[in-house]
Each structure stands twice: as C-alpha cells, then as structure tokens.
Amino acid sequence: MFIETETTPNPSALKFLPGQAVMVSGSREFATPEAAEASPLAQAIFDTGEVVNVFFGADFVSVTAAPGADWSALKPQVIAILLDHFVSEAPLFAATNGNGITVPPEDEAVVEERDEDAEVIAAINELLETRVRPAVAGDGGDIAYRGFRDGVVYLTLQGSCSGCPSSTATLKHGIEGLLKHYVPEVVEVRAA
C-alpha cells in the first residue's frame, strides 16, 4: 500500500490519500483529542502530540499540525499510522449501531429553519453538493450546511479549510457569490 500526500491551501495542513475509501458517505472532523476518541485512527494521529485537527473525507484524511510542529518529522508518523490502520482493515469508528455499521454523529443545525424556505434550502444544498463540496474536498476539507434563515446561509468549513488563512475569502467571495448568483433569496453567507 502506498499513501500519497498533497499540500493544501492551509500551510499547517496536509492531505493524505490512501488510495481507497475512507468514509463511505459524508465526512467527519475531529477538532480535539476528546472528539477523536470516537475513532481509533483519529485518536492515534492525535496521540502524536503535534496535531490540532483530523478530518476524514471520502478518499482522504487531512491533518492539521499544531503551531510550531515540524512536518518533516510528523509526516512519516502520520503515514505509518495510516498504513497500520488501512492494512489491518480496522474499523474507522469505535461505536456501532448494533448492526456493526459505524455511525458518526450528524452535524447540527445552527438556526431553526422554516417550512416555507424548503425550496430555497434545497437549491442551496444542491449547489453546495455539486459545485462547492468537490472544490473544497480537493483542498482537503469539506463544508457543512448549518441552516438558512432570513436570507443568511450558515456554513462551517472543515478539515484543512478550517482555520486556513483564505477561509474567509472562500466563504465571502467564493461561496457567497455563487449562492447569491443562483439563489436570489440568499443575501449573505456566515461562518457557523
């Protein structure tokens, strides 16, 4: 097995590609060692002591190093952890639903949505799924929809995109412009 690495727009993060599926559907972010306890893989990466974020995408894992961490020393450690995990075919998550299927928790909404906004919300999610999510995944991250209310779309950037120096520009100039163009009811995009 060979694990490729790619740089991301976030200088603190690297994207690791194991050449196979990581998440069957969705994505999952671990922003603390406590959150990483849900996944033996994420916990092992946090146990290096030099990591502040681990993110699982469809076919990649992105890892954000702590300030001052040296990627030349950390990268081989992360690759070894990933190799051990994927070669052993260990489960990605510690908890199961009783049928042996791992169930990561659902992302929570930030605002309570109204039924009359259902068509607008569907259009927003369609654009996020088809246009935004693939681009953000290419940079080692994901975007989580958190709600829509009174013309404002609430989103959370995850993975290497979380804390990236260009994340505000991505949200305000890229995603907001796209959504406002195709969905006139959108007046603003805010980080949630």
- CATH number of the domain within which 154 lies: 3.30.300.130
**Do 123 and 176 have their domain in common?**
yes
Amino acid at 151: G
Specify if 109 maps to a domain.
no
* Structure-token pair, residue 88: 């052993």
pLDDT of residue 51: 97
Mean of per-residue pLDDT scores for the chain: 88
Higher pLDDT, 108 or 40: 40
Range of the domain at 120: 115-191
* 10 belongs to a structural domain: yes
Looking at mean pLDDT, say which of 77-81, 134-138, 140-144, 172-176 comes out highest: 77-81
| Residue 105 lies inside a defined structural domain of this protein | no
Q: Residue 104: inside a domain, yes or no?
A: no
148 inside domain: yes
Range 94-112 average pLDDT: 55
Are the C-beta atoms of residues 192 and 154 closer than 8 Å to each other? yes
Query: Could you tell me the two tokens for 56?
Result: 């699982």
- CA-angle at 23, arms to 51 and 6, nearest 5°: 50
**How many residues appear in the chain?**
192
Does residue 153 belong to any structural domain of this protein? Answer: yes
Q: What average pLDDT does range 54-82 have in this prediction?
A: 96
If you ran DSSP here, which 8-state letter would residue 22 be given? S
Phi, psi of 89 (to 5 degrees): 55, 35
Distance of alpha carbon 190 from alpha carbon 108, whole angstroms: 15
Distance CA 153, CA 141 (A): 19
Within-domain flag for 64: yes
| Helices within 69-162 (DSSP H only) | 71-88, 118-127, 133-138
The CATH number given to whatever domain includes residue 37 is 3.30.1370.70
- Considering the domain architecture, whether residues 68 and 124 belong to the same structural domain is answered as no
User: Which residues on adjacent β-strands are paired with residue 16?
Assistant: 5, 61
* Predicted local confidence at residue 64, as pLDDT: 96
Per-residue pLDDT at 86: 95
pLDDT at 146 exceeding the cut of 70: yes
